[in-house]
Each structure stands twice: as C-alpha cells, then as structure tokens.
Chains A and B, each alone.
With several copies, the nearest count.
Chain A
Amino acid sequence: MAVPLDEAVGRLVHDGDTVALEGFTHLIPVAAGHEIIRQGLRDLTLVRMTPDIVYDQLVGAGCARKLVFSWGGNPGVGSLHRFRDAVTRSWPVPLEIEEHSHAGMANRYVAGASGLPFAVLRGYSGTGLIGNNPHVKTIVCPFTGQELAAVPALNPDVTVIHAQRADAAGNVQLWGITGIQKEAAMAAVRVLVTVEEVVDELEPVPGQVVLPARVVDAVSVAPGGAAPSYAHGYYERDNSAYKDWDAVGRDREAFGAWLAELTGSTGSEPPSTSDPVGKGA
C-alpha cells in the first residue's frame, strides 16, 4: 500500500485545500511539508495547533493563504519570522489568520473526528480571541443554564501525520507523545501518513496509537521524515536545527537560498515578490 511521497502528495493535496500537518513537537511531518513546497501548492488553508518551522517554510514559500492555529512559534527558540513577515507585511503573499487556544483547537478536532458540527468547552471567556474570531460562540447548557464556549468542528480536506511504523495493509502505529494526531486524522476527508518504516507486523508498544488502515488513504515511507523534530525510538530532536532556523527565517534572502536548495531551482529568489518594500520583518 505504500506509495512514494511525491505521488501521495500529488494525489491527496490540491491547491485551495484545507491541510493539517499535525504533530505536537514530536513526529512533525516535515518531509511531507517539504514535498508540498516542492510541488508548488498554493492557496492552502494550513491548520495546526503548533505551527513551527515547517509551517514557517510553507508560509514563506507562498503555499498558504490562511493559517488556523493556536500557537505559532519556534519552540524553545522564539518567533517564526516568515510567519511574522506574512502577517505584518503580506510577504510573499497575504496571510489571513484565524487563531484559537489549544483547548479550542483540540476540541474542534475532536468534534470533527466525532461527526459533530461543534464542540463545547470552558474557554475563551473574556479573552480577545472572541472579538477577532467568528468561530467562537456562546452556548447555554440546557440543564444548568451555564454559558459555555462553542467552536465549530474542524474537518480538514487532508490531514498529514508522521508515524513510526505501518504494516503492509496500511495500519499505522505511533507512540510517545501522540498529541492530537488521532483526532486530526479522523477528522479529515483524506489522510496521508509518512512513516519511518513499513514492517511485517506491528508489534504492540506501550502508549501506542494505532490508526486502522481504513482511515488512512496513503502511507509513504520517509525515514527521518520528522526531522528536525524527533521520532520516539528512532531519532532525537535536532535542537540545533531549530536554533539555526532563526537566522534563516529572519532574512528573506537567506530564506530564498534555503528554498532554492529545497526545490532544486537555480536562482535564489523567493517564489513571488508581491511586497514592493523588499526585504522585511
């Protein structure tokens, strides 16, 4: 069932899609994100609780028109400069943002995975997240009269996750910090999973999440596909790569060079230059 990553992305991800590449510090689907950049996808609504450097890269490469998120940063390092440049200077293209709290996003995925149109939580009350976000409303408990927050279900067109292993039938196994991946996958219309390896038998592992093959549309083998994040049991987090990204992300030119290397293009120009102000952020 495993298909090459370029083929899987080509088949499952389309311009204009709502795409969630999920991973909570651990098992971030970086290889798949890079393939999305390489294929030059555009107008994506990118969704993720914790957009980090691979989202900075997708945004900098001009793949996204909107970002739905709850915490956007370079964990342990600081800010995402491509993200800042897009939000504050529309470079390389304008980026609309819709922001939530983690609890709100998590429950939006839960509702999506559960086939419900919305989720209820204690949250948002009194915060500025309400005024700026039409996707948060108030709901009244029909039993107690208490007011709570309601958020709409999140159902991405495609969810992409990275896992340790799959078997030949396409059952997927991940463990360690499993975050929101199960909900993000089950909320999606289509699911692409990159894995470290395909094995004959998924030997049970403590703390595992198994996604049955029938909720997975494609498995692609991408060893190291979560780096510079980590894959519990396979490799460690490359903290220096996160730190090093700061300098690259800060500078449009350095980013352009990085992008050219990733995409194999000859020049070092960014993909578009809709901002006449030039080098910014």
Chain B
Amino acid sequence: MSTLPWTSDEIMTVAAARSLSDGMSCFVGIGLPSTAANVASRTHAPGLWMIYESGTLGASPGHLPLSIGDGILAETADTVVSVPEVFNYWLQAGRIDVGFLGAAQVDRYANINTTVIGDYADPEVRLPGAGGAPEIAASCREVIVIMRHDRRAFVDKVDFVTSVGHGAGPGDRERLGLTGAGPVRVITDLGVLEPDPITRELTLVGVHPGVEVAHVREATGWDLRVAEDPRRTPEPTGAELSVLRSLTGAAHI
C-alpha cells in the first residue's frame, strides 16, 4: 500500500465519514469515530449533529478534541447538559440516529469488547471498560463501528461482551429488548463489513483500493463470508484528505 497517496487509517476514516448523512444526530466516541465524524461535518454533512457523552449537544469543535470532555466541545455546542441527561433524555429515549464506536475486539456477530483481553477474573490485558458504549450500542437507531483490522481484533467470539451487537444471531436483539438496530456496518482499514440480513453474521461487502479479499480473510479470526461482488471503496478525494489532514496534523499523514 506504500504506493498509494494515503494511509490505511486515512481510507478507513474517510470511508467512515462517508457513512454519516447530513442532518443525522451522531453519538460520537473519542478517537477514530470523532475524527471521522469531524471529517463528515466538514465535507458532505455540514448539518451532522454531534453529541459527545460529556453532555455537549451539537458540538462543532474547531479542532479534534483529545477527550470527550474538551473545552472546545462545550464552547461550540448548541447546549451542554448533565451526564444523566445526555444518557437518559437523549440516548435512552432513542433520539440518536447513529452511534459511532471504536472497539478492541469485535466478533462474528458484531458484539463489541472494550473491557478485557483474556479471562475477566485474570485478564491478559485490562482495557478501559464500557463507558457509554453498551447503551450507545443498545439505543441508537443504528451503530457504526470503526477499528483497525487484524486477527486479534476480529475474533470468532469476543472475550467479553461489553456492548451487544447481534448477540448470537437473528432475534437476539429483540429478545434482549434492545431498541436500536445495532451495528449496521463495521469499517476497517481494509474494508467494510455488514451483517447478513438473515443470519446477522458480519460479511465483507467492500474492500478499500489496493486491498485483496484474501488479505481481509487472513486478517479475520473466523471464516469470513464475502459478498458476491464486494464494492471497491472509492478513493479519498483531495478535499476529504485535505480536511482529514488538517484535523489530524502530520502524525496521520
């Protein structure tokens, strides 16, 4: 990929940005989701309404926040509400169109782990934990996951279900009383996965320029199903790259 004029993180972020529509309300996690949402709001989705879990509603930060509670979010928000209010009146009430999450592990049914690698009682790696993710995954109308693609991250079964994707398959979300549709797309640095409409199993539906399907299957910890004719992600436009790079600075270029 070294011949391409953009990095794999950049195509991932741009692809994620493209999946947000103008006018949507978006519950934004920090890191990759925040970068992608801010690219979207500066390109095709100027009316994207970003909510960070610190209670900043309609934030439009002039630069990327390092945390979900940076001052720039409060200063640019339509209004700032308390944490109980953002979770109860906004998220739980089903007012958010799309929840935009990162993850340490995701599995075949798009269940998400941000808690531990290994056994919970005696973990190999202790991760930060749940934060707002379980209820974002439960209550947003849709969820989009953005994360880098490798076999440690894409596992057959997550070590810990921090946030429910499609559980163990069809009907599980309904049975669990989860009101939103759950993950509709997982965007990685290699391609795009979506749950099969029937089986809910994550299926490769798109690959980024220069990426082979075999490579994606190789980087996935289960026998990945592949759509008949996976879409090729359109290359990042100059405008997209320039916005992205102005946000991330040299580090990501």
A pairs with B: yes
Nearest opposing residue in chain B for A215, CB measure:
B95
Which chain B residues in 98-139 approach chain A with CB under 8 Å?
115, 120, 122-135, 138-139
Cβ–Cβ contact B126 & A177, under 8 A: no
Residue from the set B31, B54, B67, B91 with the largest chain A CB neighbour count within 10 Å: B67
- Which among A24, A69, A127, A128 is the interface contact of B69 at CB below 8 angstroms? A24
- Which among A69, A232, A237 is the interface contact of B66 at CB below 8 angstroms? A237
Nearest opposing residue in chain B for A130, CB measure:
B161
Cβ–Cβ contact A214 & B164, under 8 A: no
Cβ–Cβ contact A124 & B134, under 8 A: yes
Q: Is A116 in the interface zone, CB < 8 Å from B?
A: yes
- Excluding A25-B69, A114-B92, A182-B89, 11 further A-B contacts by CB distance (< 8 Å) are A26-B69, A71-B130, A101-B132, A102-B131, A109-B84, A122-B179, A126-B161, A127-B164, A177-B55, A212-B49, A214-B49
Nearest opposing residue in chain A for B88, CB measure:
A114
The 3 closest A-B pairs by CB, nearest first: A25-B69, A73-B128, A76-B66
Nearest opposing residue in chain A for B127, CB measure:
A79
Nearest opposing residue in chain A for B159, CB measure:
A128
Residues of A bordering B, CB below 8 Å: 24-26, 49-50, 69-73, 75-76, 79-80, 83-84, 87-88, 99-103, 106-107, 109-110, 113-116, 121-129, 132, 146-148, 171, 176-180, 182-183, 186, 207, 209-210, 212, 214-215, 230, 232, 236-237, 239, 242
Residues of B within 8 A of A101 (CB): 130-135
Cβ–Cβ contact A24 & B83, under 8 A: yes
Given contacts A26-B71, A101-B130, A101-B132, contact A125 B83 (CB under 8 A): no
Q: Is B193 in the interface zone, CB < 8 Å from A?
A: no
Residues of B within 8 A of A129 (CB): 115, 130, 134, 162
Given contacts A125-B178, A186-B89, A230-B71, contact A178 B80 (CB under 8 A): yes
Q: How far apart sit A91 and B38, CA to CA, in the bound complex (Å)?
A: 40
Cβ–Cβ contact B131 & A212, under 8 A: no
Given contacts A75-B30, A88-B123, A101-B130, contact A110 B84 (CB under 8 A): yes
Q: How far apart sit A219 and B247, CA to CA, in the bound complex (Å)?
A: 36
Q: Is B163 in the interface zone, CB < 8 Å from A?
A: yes
- Which among B54, B69, B129 is the interface contact of A99 at CB below 8 angstroms? B129
Residues of B within 8 A of A99 (CB): 115, 129-130
- Least CB distance from B178 to A in Å reads 6
Q: Is B57 in the interface zone, CB < 8 Å from A?
A: yes
B interface residue count range (under 10 / 10 to 19 / 20 to 34 / 35 or more):
35 or more
- Least CB distance from B251 to A in Å reads 12
- Least CB distance from B59 to A in Å reads 11
Residues of B bordering A, CB below 8 Å: 25, 30-31, 49, 53-58, 65-71, 73-74, 78-80, 82-84, 87-89, 91-95, 115, 120, 122-135, 138-139, 160-164, 167, 172, 176-179
Residues of A within 8 A of B73 (CB): 177
Residues of A within 8 A of B139 (CB): 115, 122
Cβ–Cβ contact A76 & B30, under 8 A: yes
Main secondary structure of the interface of A (DSSP, over half): loop
Residues of A within 8 A of B67 (CB): 25, 75-76, 237
Residues of B within 8 A of A87 (CB): 123, 126
Cβ–Cβ contact A128 & B162, under 8 A: yes
Given contacts A75-B68, A101-B131, A214-B25, contact A107 B126 (CB under 8 A): no
Given contacts A109-B84, A113-B88, A123-B138, contact A232 B128 (CB under 8 A): no
Q: How far apart sit A180 and B82, CA to CA, in the bound complex (Å)?
A: 6
Nearest opposing residue in chain A for B34, CB measure:
A76
Cβ–Cβ contact B130 & A100, under 8 A: yes
Residues of B within 8 A of A50 (CB): 131
- Least CB distance from A94 to B in Å reads 12
Nearest opposing residue in chain A for B91, CB measure:
A103
Residues of B within 8 A of A230 (CB): 71
Cβ–Cβ contact A123 & B134, under 8 A: yes
- Which among B57, B88, B91, B176 is the interface contact of A126 at CB below 8 angstroms? B176
